[in-house]
Structure formats: structure tokens, C-alpha cells
A and B are shown apart, each in its own frame.
Chain A
Amino acid sequence: MLSRMQLELAAVAVVFVLGSLAVIGALEHEIGWASDGPQAGYFPFRLGIILIVASLVIGAQALASGARGRELVLSRESGRRMIGFFLPLVGYVAIAQVLGLYVATALYLGFVLRAMGRHGWQATAGVALGVPLASWMLFEVWFTVPLLKGPLERWLGLA
């Protein structure tokens, strides 16, 4: 599904973009060397250049890697497992932004255990409700660290 060379090139592209961002961001400031030493943009600018150069060299090496570059780093089956894990995670974080961490945690665990793990309703409900409850005890009560709350907690008068 994904060869080493494809992944190498994708990684190098990300590094290149991050390096360019560092250079662009640094140019908003002085990037030179004043009498009191380097200015605010001095380091970000040079770090960006290092990243850009390194990404180009690594990219060239990857293109020249031959047989090693063609070997698979992700088989179709592993890829499917990974996507099956990753998409619910993205959904979890998206829901947490709106409904808060407690509700999102319960929904995420409920979905993953039932749909992906194929566990029974009892085990699913136990874990999906048990973990948020335990987090509530641990964080809100014991450590008094408030977690992200949403409409449900406000409606219940808990936030």
C-alpha cells in the first residue's frame, strides 16, 4: 500500500514545508547579526535553511535508494488496521472540541469497542461509562484539574 520511498518522500515534503514556514516566519523579524549578537529571526531563519537543505538531500538519497526504496513499509492489511484506528481517533478529538472530553470519551470507547473490537454490550457499556467516571473522580475530585466540558455538563449543572 505504501513503499518506503513514498513514505520517505512524503516525510521529506513535510520537512521542506516546515523549513519554508520557518524561513517565511523568520523574515517577519530581523534575521541579521547586530552589535548585541543575533536578532529574533536569526535562529529560525537558519534552522529553516538547514531543514530545507537536509530535506532535499534526504529526498535525493531516497530516490537513489533502488530496491530498498521499493520495499513495503505498510501492507494493505496493516494500512486498513491503521486507518480503522486513526479515523475514530480524529472523530474523538473533533467531538471533544464540541461536546467536551467526558462525552467524547464515552462515545469513542463505545464505538471502538462495539464496532471495531466486536465486544458484547455489557463490556462495551462498562468500559465506555467506567473510564469517564473514573476520570471524573481522578481529575475533578482528586487532583482538581478541570477537564474540557460541553453542553451536557452545563445542562447537568456540573460545569
Chain B
Amino acid sequence: MSNNTIYDALIVGAGVSGGFIANALTEAGMKCALLEAGRSFPSGQYPDNELDANALLYWGGGIELNKNASLGLLRPKGVGGGSIVNQALVDRFDDDAFDSWREASGVSYFNRAEMDPWYDAAAEQISIKTVPEEYANGNGKIFREGFEKNGYQYAPLERAHRDCRFEDGNCCIECLRGCPIDSKQSTAVTLIPKARAAGLDLVPEFEAIHVDPRKDLVTVIGRGGDGRESVYRGRRLVLAAGAIGNSRLLLMSGLEKQLPALGHNFYTHPQFMCLGLYDEPVNGHHGPLQSYRSADPTFRANGFKLENVFASPVAVAMLVPALGREHMQRMRAITHMGCVEVAVRDTNPGRITVSSSGKPIVDKTLNEEDRRRRDRGLEAIHNIFESTGATEIIKGNLAIGLHLMGGCNIGTDPTRSVATPDFHLHGFDNIHVADSSAFPNAPGINPSFTIMALSCRAADKIVQGAD
């Protein structure tokens, strides 16, 4: 479907940033189209099995690998994007994260005093609650007990959900394929429906493949689900397709010369999931998937955090070593497994390029410092499992990248950054970006809430500029 409408704004990517910005611009009276490569799922009707979820909710059939296959990248797609499949954690950045961003970018507003109002503005749009400790499952209890026995600090978890009805026995691990009761505050159930009611045009199954930026008009060419090309035009473009999606689109559009830092400065918070085997059932798949977060200043100072998570059988099968019957025997013990992962605040930036067929190529490895951070985290996990009676510990050896950040980083220097502090690309006043691709480096904290805050701030700037 091509459209003769000249929109006030085209937004590519209907995830967290796209949803927040689309709603803010539409509410300000701008005519917007939200273009999304993935599908739009009716309320509560997400895939009911992992195979379809991997195929429909992620790029590349579930996982994309970096160049040397040492890092698996999970890149969501579909209306709602990462907010469909994530655990909806809402953490504000601390001074350390913002100090590091300010230093890397030269952007003065990266501090709590100036960002807190934008966190508040984002929080007003969604329901945020603490996961009730009384429903913590066996895996949550292992995490808590292990932290207490080792003198590590932890805290209850805040997440964006409305009412998960844990008293009914609901299990949030099912919501990694999309929340069937619309409790999780994905933009697919919060801001995008609101924006649509106010006049937003939502265009799912439109994969943007080329941008033609002109001073007064931006053209976006894309492919539909049937492979046919169509075109959308707008006075401005907001890129909200994430680190790889935004970088890929701009690279495929030939903007590398004008934007020399494009695709650089890519970070992922590499995560290593570990399993502990217990004699008694753990049932880490019951109830809330996560109940606690690590809040240990020593962990923070050492560049890692631990996550109280569990995983689906497919992911556990990838972690469990051995082959054949031995592998199956181990899989039978899945209900007796505890799980903790270490997320590294990575210091070694990667680079995103694009193959001739349009496939993103990610060159990203861990340097010595990143490996040191990983190993300290693994040591802490070992201590947790050992002190809580695990009979065997399985260390995951494949790093997973869930927090895909950078590639279009914000900064004051056009030779070292892609976007200005005012959220438009250097040299392109009518192309904006405020999602995780704009991050100057890895904060070591869950990025979702800060994407929301930056998007609120960017939307305000765009509306001011449009007046």
C-alpha cells in the first residue's frame, strides 16, 4: 500500500521509543504514521509456543549471531517491540551511568536532576509496581538466600505491569512470548492504542529498507509482508528501530559518508546465564519470573550485575551441555534448576555493518576488561549456588545480547557521534532518534526506562520544533 498523504512525522519502529514518540506527537496534533516490520497481534493473542514466538517476535528466526558467533543477539520485532518480550524492568540510571554518558558524549543534560522529570513523565503513562515478594518462586528464594548468605545486597524488583494476578497462579515466563492478559505495560497495550485513537496510522509488516532525506520531505521506501515495495512521505522522520535496525536502515540508505560514526559504538550488556541443579524442586517457571535485582555497590563498581531470571526449555536446552540421552536426562531436571545470569557493562564497542543482501553484520567481542567483569560475576553466581546447596553448576558459555545499544550515538562531535543533543542526526534537522541506538555507551542498567525518558524529551523537542 502506498500512501499519498504527506505526514507530519513518519516513525520507523513500533517498540518502546516509537510508541512513546508516536503518542506524544499525535497528541500534539501531528499527523503520524508508525511503520513496523513485524506483525500487530490482537490483544492477548501472541504466539502460544516458543517456535512461533521466535519466528514472529524476533529477527532472524529467533537469534542473530555476531561475526565470530560468540554472541547471540535477540532483536525483537512486532508492534510493541522489546516491550512485548522483555521483563518490563523500570530502572532509572544512577549518577555513574549519567557521568559516563556525559563524558562520552559531551551532552550536559545527562544527569539525574535534568533527566528525572522525563522519567517522571514516562512513569505517568504506564503502571509501575513492585513485584510482591510473597509470590517469589523457588528461583527467587535461591537468589535472595544466596545474596544474604554471601553478604551481597539485593532489592525487590519494580516492573511495568498492571495486575499479573499471581494469586491465580499465573506464571510470567509465559509472557516472554507476549503477555496474554495485557498486564505487562508494552506500548502495544498502552501508548500505541491511545495514539491510534487520536489519529495515528499504524502500518505493521512494513520493513523500511531505504530513506531518502530531503530538506522538507523524507521518503521511506519499504517492503510489505508480500514482498511488494511501498512508499511513505513525511516532513520529518523518527528512527525507532533500535541499534541494529536504525544503523542498518541508514547504512542501506548510503548515509555513512555524512555520518562517519554510523554503526559504531555498539554495546549489548553481554549476559551469561548459569544453572544450578538442586535435589528439591525449584520450579523457577512458576509465578513471577523475577522478584529481585542485585543492588550491590561492589558489583556495580566491578562492572556487572546479577539477574534473577529463568528461561524457557529451548533456551535451557541451548545451555545444557552433553548430547543425546545425557542431554535429555539433564533436561528432565529442568524443574530442579535454579538460574542466575551475569550482565556485563561492556567496555569494548562493536560495529554494525550491512552485507550486500541487507543482512546486518555485527563485529563485537569482549575485551580483557569485559572478560574480567564476566568472570567476577560468574564467581558471585558460583558462590550463590554453592551456598544454597546446588549439587552441580552449569556455566553458560554463549553470551546473549538483549540490550542492543548504540550505532547512532548522541554527542556533540559529528565525527564521533551520529545524533545531536537535540535528538536529530548531525546535518539532518528532520531525522530524529531517541531510542537505544542513541546511547553513548553501556550504562550497566536495564535500558528500557531511559529509552522512555529520552523519547519523552525528544518528542517535546520535536513538537517545539514543529510549532
Co-complex (A, B)? no
User: Which residue numbers of A lie inside 8 Å of B, CB to CB?
Assistant: none
User: Which residue numbers of B lie inside 8 Å of A, CB to CB?
Assistant: none
